[in-house]
Chain A
């Protein structure tokens, strides 16, 4: 699709505009209006008082990753390496092993995501054939004082819960 080009009329050519001071005073009028309105009552500010007031995170927001489990608590992941292959940031490291509980043949022995490398593109979620990895925890703030702590392991990801109901999540996928 071709980009829509909007032609704006060229400004600044009239004598009144060339004097420049008049336009400056107009601009100063605008800023003064904002200033006085906010000085009069600072509840007029367009500010969210973070961190006391938290933002509303929509369901299709790509937050921290979690690994899903079957109803009996075993991981859904079959260690197919789809997400690792797809990852543009190369932040997923899977080690596969044999699965003994009879559900499938393979499962990950370790599943590590380096969140310092991750670009939160969501390709791992899209690539997963088993719906085993999702980014629906709604966690958007994740900090650490060293790089090693930014690597999250399988146990931690399995223990995270989704921030939304299944219905909301599916609707979020459609919105996206």
Chain B
């Protein structure tokens, strides 16, 4: 193994392990601010360090510190203390490793060697995701059972029945996808979606398999225990469901596990249906061959984008009431300067590439990989927004409605989809 190999292993593993954790802050902030805006209120916007509130991000820090310093209680009546402590760990660990096989950029070629941009370069792909997320439900069931509490137990019971009714349509939806893509390797699937159909429609899963997309997304919502399928939590019926007896960091780990699972399943939805890391209409080869025009376009677009972004910050980051020497406006100025400096640094790099880089060199490959990582994270963020958006739109399903939806609606639809897809694929040869 050369030094480059080792560096690439470290880079890939750290991206796939730490990006979901970093996105926790984004998820939680987004959840709370979007909830606020949807309901015409502002969400957390007061907590700040020396007046710097970072759009509500500092609130996470405050909450994190609070949870870390709270008393960690294990109730007297909890009989299986080991399982009780194990449950949140399973939930969180399963969520993190379910992201490990998702490609966040196209295979990177450096010095003639190819590096698969996944945390673990295996071929099991989507099967790994199905297996590991299925495992994460054990965390919930164990938590509910070992809490020795009727509400927790009911939550666990609901979660167990939910898994059975959703894993099957989800798996069947994936089968019809696999018929189309012809591979279970997520890298292959993402590369397949980089092609264009008739030259202008990207061959994304959502266009090839709209029904499978609907089924899979619905099932993924259930998988993550998100509203409208958060029956295991059901705070209006079951107090807090499976995590009722958990306090302090043990609760926080459940909470983080939920958001990491949300990130991982968004990433899988993006990879299966929304083209993965592909930039729409531009294949990796095309970008690498035309690195100079691409760098030039980026060079022009970034400042224009930043100009409007700065205007948006100015408009929104101010006190909405008469106030002398508004500190929030000073805060906005600092943010805008920081962003301009960041843009400046990126511009310098792009200029260097424009001046010196030749097509199909290491620099070109790296730039394209970075662009694809950004595209992937942008798509995932949009999918996370959909999760949040749905949560603040739709009320919770009732227990029996959920079972009916899973067994009587989604299962036949998924089977039908497999037959139709199979027939079309056979007919087209």
Contacts and interface: CB of A to CB of B under 8 A. Distances in A.
Interface in A117-143: none
Interface residues of B, number: 20
Nearest to B214: A21
B40 interface: yes
Given A24-B394, A31-B392, A49 B37 contact: no
B40 A53 contact: no
Interface in B75-132: none
Interface string B35-63: 01111111000000000000000000000
Interface string B304-321: 000000000001100111
Contacts of B320: 42-43, 45, 47, 49
Contacts of A24: 393-394
B390 A53 contact: no
Nearest to B39: A34
A28 B321 contact: no
Contact of B38 (A21, A31, A44, A49): A31
14 contacts: A28-B389, A28-B393, A31-B393, A34-B38, A35-B38, A35-B389, A38-B40, A41-B316, A42-B42, A42-B320, A43-B320, A44-B40, A46-B41, A53-B321
B70 interface: no
5 nearest A-B pairs in the assembled complex, by CB-CB distance = A38-B37, A31-B393, A46-B40, A31-B38, A35-B37
- Give chain B's interface secondary structure class: loop
Given A32-B389, A41-B316, A52-B319, 16 more contacts: A21-B214, A27-B394, A34-B37, A34-B40, A35-B38, A38-B36, A38-B40, A39-B37, A42-B320, A45-B37, A45-B42, A46-B41, A47-B40, A47-B320, A52-B321, A52-B323
A77 B365 CA distance: 88
Between B42, B214, B323, B393, the greatest number of chain A beta carbons within 10 A of the residue's beta carbon is seen for: B393
How extensive is the interface on chain A, given as a class? 20 to 34
A172 B112 CA distance: 85
Interface in B174-194: none
Nearest to A27: B393
A30 B40 CA distance: 12
Contacts of B36: 38
A24 B214 CA distance: 13
Nearest to A49: B321
A91 to B, nearest CB: 33
B41 A28 contact: no
A47 B42 contact: yes
B40 A45 contact: yes
B393 A42 contact: no
Given A28-B389, A52-B323, A41 B40 contact: no
Nearest to B312: A40
B34 A35 contact: yes
B56 to A, nearest CB: 12
Contacts of B38: 31, 34-35
A31 B38 CA distance: 5
B316 A28 contact: no
A42 B40 CA distance: 9
Contacts of B39: 34
Nearest to A52: B321
A46 B321 CA distance: 13
Nearest to B392: A31
A126 B389 CA distance: 50
A140 B36 CA distance: 26
Given A24-B394, A49-B320, A52-B321, A31 B389 contact: yes
Nearest to B385: A35
A38 B38 CA distance: 8
A41 B315 contact: yes
Interface string B213-243: 0100000000000000000000000000000
A65 to B, nearest CB: 31
A86 B37 CA distance: 46
Contacts of B41: 45-47
Contacts of A31: 38, 389, 392-393
A120 to B, nearest CB: 26
Contacts of B37: 34-35, 38-39, 42, 45
A21 B214 CA distance: 10
A140 to B, nearest CB: 19
Contacts of B390: 28
Contacts of A27: 393-394
Between B37, B38, B41, B392, the greatest number of chain A beta carbons within 10 A of the residue's beta carbon is seen for: B37
Contacts of B392: 31
B26 to A, nearest CB: 15
A34 B36 CA distance: 10
Contacts of A39: 37
Contacts of A53: 321
Between A38, A39, A44, the greatest number of chain B beta carbons within 10 A of the residue's beta carbon is seen for: A38
A51 B39 CA distance: 20
A53 B321 CA distance: 7
A41 to B, nearest CB: 6
Contacts of B389: 28, 31-32, 35
B52 to A, nearest CB: 18
Contacts of B323: 52
